[in-house]
Amino acid sequence: MPSFNPETEYDITSDSIRLRDFHDYPEEFVTRPPYQRKNVWSRNKQQALLDSLFRGYYVPRIVIRRVRLSEEETVKEVIDGQQRITTAQKFFADELKLPSSLEDIRRSLPGSTYSELSSEVRRFVDRLSYDADIVLQIDDPFEERHQQIATEIFWRLQQGESLNYMEVAHARLSSTARNFVVKYADDQTFDYDAYRPVSENPTKHLFFSTIRRKNNRMQHMALLTRFLILEEADGPADIKQTDVQAYIDQHQVEGGIGSEAFEETDVAQDTLDNMRAFYDVFADDPLRAEGEGIPILKVEYFIISLYLLLRHLRAHYAFGETERMLFRDFAYDFYDRWRNGEEEDIQIFQNKRQQSAGEIATRQRIIRQHFFEYVQRQDHEMVTKDEKRRFDEAERIRIYRRDSGLCQLCLDEGKPEAEAKVLWEEFEADHVTPHAEGGPTVVENGQVLCRYHNRRKGAQVAEPVSPGADVRSTANAPSSSRSSTSRKTSESKGLSTRYWLTPVAERGSLSPQEVVVQTVGNGAFGFSSDAIQKMRPRPGDRLSFYGSRTGIVADATVAGRSHHAEDPSAELQIPDADNYPYIVDLENASLYDEPIEVTEGIRRRLEAFEESDASEGWGWFVLTVRQLSRKDFRILTGRA
């Protein structure tokens, strides 16, 4: 009887690879294939490996796939052993020191880098090697079956590792949704043409620069996948871990490796646009400039709640610069209530933190109600969009005839009519006031545009996430609500004025009055991180300045949003300002010849003291930045 011997799809051979080769010839090794996450061992774990190598202890074999890039060139793809190889590379590069545990072998070893070792020890290290299993016959990087087998080998070797659901989804190379998520949410990417990992992802979406969530276990990729599910459902949906993994799995297709087909879907484009709109809201938040994201945007279910609220508002209401400013201020206000409030609604919001459709819907009802109540308190009206988005045929004809078939923006640029003429077949009917900002779809709000100008409005280049990130994707272009030639400037039109008391202390040898003269008198003032989070100053806010132990010495109006200064002392031209790096531009400053003392008589007139003793122990009032009523501001600045 013939023996049972199933045919295998690959062969394995054994080899031994010197540790030094990984450092000397790194171009021969692909240490992070596309199906693997970037995993970083702790320093203790790296040094434990060095201890084992020096003692001759057993070290698990590494697994390498030979990949053929051309008839003349192959590379060694590391299926298993990424961190063992990285540890060797770091040690030979003098980036890792030997552990103290080696003292019993030789007292000079602990704390030494490779180059600090004696020649005899370096020779010993140079002879060290890893035993390796070399996988053959699945060497085509563009053959889907070969990649599937390599991925399967990787996962079976990781059975003892604690891999989360998103790390499993990340290895689904044939999923077009996975490729989309990696492109816009991963910190690294993979260049299939060069067959090399890319350590910095130039296409990562700007949205992720606003949130304060680490990505060491692919949390950003999971969040983007949840957005896709919500977008596809047009609202609340189940977005638990199993749903995220299932969504990636269901988009596995033949020929999907490296495919960007998913990006062309409406779901993908709408998600990118809403993420860009979210970024636009928080882009100029000074706390984003610190590089770690905005503190209130840390908890995932809170971020998702804000994202869905913003998506709803953009779909149904005019959403311009004023509304963006209002939304950001609301986010801070609601965050404070969510973290510190005892209202029943807030308690429900806190308790409904699961990622099921029902709990997401409950959170949405609560946050929407609180948003519109906040809007009312700000004396602002949200304008409902005209549900009609497109001009009909008759309206297009009337617009074309009225404008004589001439592109209005070409004319604005001074082009002659002959160059501004647009053929009927190429004519685009455009909203003068954008539909996203409440512009109605009526002939009076329509204009003729050529294809160039109509496309250009939606393709503005965005600011980079960080210096050196030169490559842009259309996902990082301004959202449609900002892509208009009639875009508004940063103003708080339609929002009520807020009033603030700002304490000023000595800075080095400068008295509080001298600090105010140097800063407020020159149109700027610096705030601490705590103060800027509390105030969130917006254009039009009124500030009164209290000089320590003197009185109110000045007042001014906020002229623009705050920005983060790398050297606040140099920018403000005052000493000891490092703790006040958030600079607010001011206008209409009034510097008082004599301070207005906050006497007991004045304190008794203030609304802030209605429930407090105005006669003594009032230092709390001028200790930190605080919001004032309009009446109190007028009293403190001598206007009432």
CATH of the domain at 593: 3.10.590.10
pLDDT in tens, 291-302: 789 999 999 999
Q: Which residue is it, tokens 């991925």?
A: 151
Are residues 181 and 157 part of one domain? no
Q: Is residue 185 part of a domain?
A: yes
Q: Is residue 491 part of a domain?
A: no
Q: Where are the alpha helices (DSSP H) in 355-392?
A: 357-377
Which has more confidence, 66 or 159? 66
pLDDT-derived band at 469, boundaries 50, 70, 90 = very low
- Of 113, 135, 161, which closes a domain? 161
Q: Is residue 483 part of a domain?
A: no
Q: Is residue 93 part of a domain?
A: yes
pLDDT-derived band at 457, boundaries 50, 70, 90 = low
Q: Is residue 489 part of a domain?
A: no
The neighbour count for residue 197, using CB atoms within 10 Å, is: 16
Q: What are phi and psi of 216, to 5 degrees?
A: -70, -20
Answer for the pair 153, 63: CB distance below 8 angstroms, yes or no: yes
Are residues 407 and 371 part of one domain? no
Q: Which residues of 403-435 are buried (b: 16+ CB within 10 A; e: fewer)?
A: bebbbbbbeeeeeeeeebbbeeeebbbbbeebb
**Average pLDDT value for residue range 134-158:** 88
Are residues 265 and 127 part of one domain? no
Domain count along the chain: 4
Token pair belonging to 64: 């390498």
81/616 Cα distance (integer angstroms): 70
**Average pLDDT value for residue range 79-89:** 95
The neighbour count for residue 624, using CB atoms within 10 Å, is: 13
Those residues whose C-beta lies under 8 Å from the C-beta of residue 129, and which sit 6 or more positions away, are 16, 17, 18, 19
Are residues 309 and 256 part of one domain? yes
Are residues 107 and 34 part of one domain? yes
Radius of gyration of the chain (CA): 31
Checking if the pLDDT of 8 tops 50, the result is: yes
Are residues 316 and 209 part of one domain? yes
Are residues 550 and 508 part of one domain? yes
- Of 133-142, 424-433, 492-501, the least confident: 492-501
Are residues 334 and 205 part of one domain? yes
- Whole-number pLDDT of residue 477: 63
Are residues 182 and 156 part of one domain? no
The neighbour count for residue 252, using CB atoms within 10 Å, is: 15
- Whole-number pLDDT of residue 604: 94
Those residues whose C-beta lies under 8 Å from the C-beta of residue 571, and which sit 6 or more positions away, are 524, 526, 565, 583
- Whole-number pLDDT of residue 478: 61
Checking if the pLDDT of 473 tops 70, the result is: no
- Whole-number pLDDT of residue 481: 40
Are residues 519 and 429 part of one domain? no
Using alpha carbons, list the distances in angstroms from residue 246 to 151, 156, 355: 18, 20, 15
- Of 459, 476, 509, which closes a domain? 459
Q: Is residue 356 part of a domain?
A: yes
- Whole-number pLDDT of residue 468: 33
Answer for the pair 543, 589: CB distance below 8 angstroms, yes or no: no
Q: How big is the chain, counted in residues?
A: 640
pLDDT-derived band at 493, boundaries 50, 70, 90 = low
HSE at residue 278, side-chain half, CA atoms within 13 A, is 29
Cβ-based burial of 70 (10 A; exposed 0-12, middle 13-18, buried ≥19): exposed
- Of 16-25, 431-440, 622-631, the least confident: 431-440
- Whole-number pLDDT of residue 466: 40
Answer for the pair 555, 562: CB distance below 8 angstroms, yes or no: no
537: nearest Cα among 341, 221, 368, 284 = 284
Are residues 225 and 90 part of one domain? no
Checking if the pLDDT of 254 tops 90, the result is: no
Which residue range forms the structural domain that includes residue 263? Answer: 176-378
pLDDT-derived band at 158, boundaries 50, 70, 90 = confident
The amino acid at residue 252 is Q
Checking if the pLDDT of 363 tops 70, the result is: yes
Are residues 542 and 408 part of one domain? no
The neighbour count for residue 372, using CB atoms within 10 Å, is: 13
517: nearest Cα among 471, 488, 563, 553 = 553
574: nearest Cα among 502, 505, 624 = 505
Answer for the pair 446, 245: CB distance below 8 angstroms, yes or no: no
276: nearest Cα among 482, 487, 478, 488 = 478
Token pair belonging to 198: 């890319």
Q: Is residue 117 part of a domain?
A: yes
- Whole-number pLDDT of residue 156: 83
pLDDT-derived band at 91, boundaries 50, 70, 90 = very high
126: nearest Cα among 99, 88, 95 = 88
- Most confident of the following: 319-333, 382-396, 413-427: 319-333
pLDDT-derived band at 475, boundaries 50, 70, 90 = low
- Whole-number pLDDT of residue 620: 93
- Whole-number pLDDT of residue 165: 78
Answer for the pair 481, 436: CB distance below 8 angstroms, yes or no: yes
pLDDT-derived band at 434, boundaries 50, 70, 90 = confident
- Of 399-403, 450-454, 497-501, 576-580, the least confident: 450-454
**Average pLDDT value for residue range 232-261:** 92
- Whole-number pLDDT of residue 494: 58
Q: Is residue 471 part of a domain?
A: no
- Whole-number pLDDT of residue 470: 36
